[in-house]
Every structure is written in structure tokens, then in C-alpha cells.
Amino acid sequence: MSDMDILAIASLSPSEREAKMGQLFQQLMPLSESEQVAALHNLIKEMAEKANDEQYKNLCLTNLKLAAALPDEELKRFLAVRMKASGELPKNLAERDLSLMQESLGDVDAQIRDKITRNMQ
């Protein structure tokens, strides 16, 4: 996963970004929880440090769409790992991540938003 240029992915067209992030999800899911947290931590940190708001939101929107396609139990685990990874960031980066993720959640299709929100509890 370290060979992925997350900023380049964030700048792709929506369909290309979805395909690349789908590959990333496929690599991430079989890993142990600690490996998932570490991988997501590094990706989120890179985005929070280097991406502009548009790139960040584009990636968030794609990730929310892909995550919502997971079965509920997998989605719950993914969201828990994602929140843990974000929570381990320095405060300013974690706050930026949370803010842009919430903004993106407000922009996605209602079905995606409902499924993500329901599985965050």
C-alpha cells in the first residue's frame, strides 16, 4: 500500500479514483486490525498534511461510497479502524480530517449517509 500516491489518486476522475481506492480497500481488508490502523493512519496523515480541501473531500466522498458498499459488520469494523487511525493523528490533522469527513458525509447520497451513520453507533 505504500506504493500508492494518495494525492495523485485524489486528483483522478471519480470513476478512476473509485477503481484505485477499491483496489486499496481490497488490500486493506485482509490485514490485521493493527496493520489496518497503521496503513490508514499513514494515508490520512499524508492527506491531512498535503492535500487541498477539494482533493481531500474527493477522496472522502469516494471512500464513503466504497465503505457503504460493505456488509454492515465489515463496515462497522472499518469505521472503528478509520476512527482509531484518525484519532492517533496530531490534534490539528485529526481536526481537519474530522471536519472534512463530516462535510463530505453531508454531501453524499442520503442512502450512503444513512448506512454510514447507522453503522457508526
The model's pLDDT over 74-119, given as tens digits with 9 standing for 90+, comes to 999 999 999 999 999 999 999 999 999 999 999 999 999 999 999 9
Among residues 62, 52, 72, 55, the alpha carbon closest in space to that of 19 is found at 62
Cβ-defined contacts of 2-8 (< 8 Å, 24+): 2/42, 4/43, 6/43, 6/46, 6/47, 6/51, 6/59, 7/46, 7/47, 7/50, 7/51, 7/55
Q: What is the pLDDT of residues 3-17, one digit of tens each?
A: 568 889 988 999 999
Q: Is 53 exposed, middle or buried (0-12, 13-18, 19+ CB in 10 A)?
A: exposed
> Please, are residues 22 and 69 in contact by the beta-carbon 8 Å criterion?
no
Q: What is the pLDDT of residues 31-78, one digit of tens each?
A: 999 999 999 999 999 999 999 999 999 999 999 999 999 999 999 999
Mean pLDDT, to the nearest integer, of 19-25? 91
Model-level pTM greater than 0.75? yes
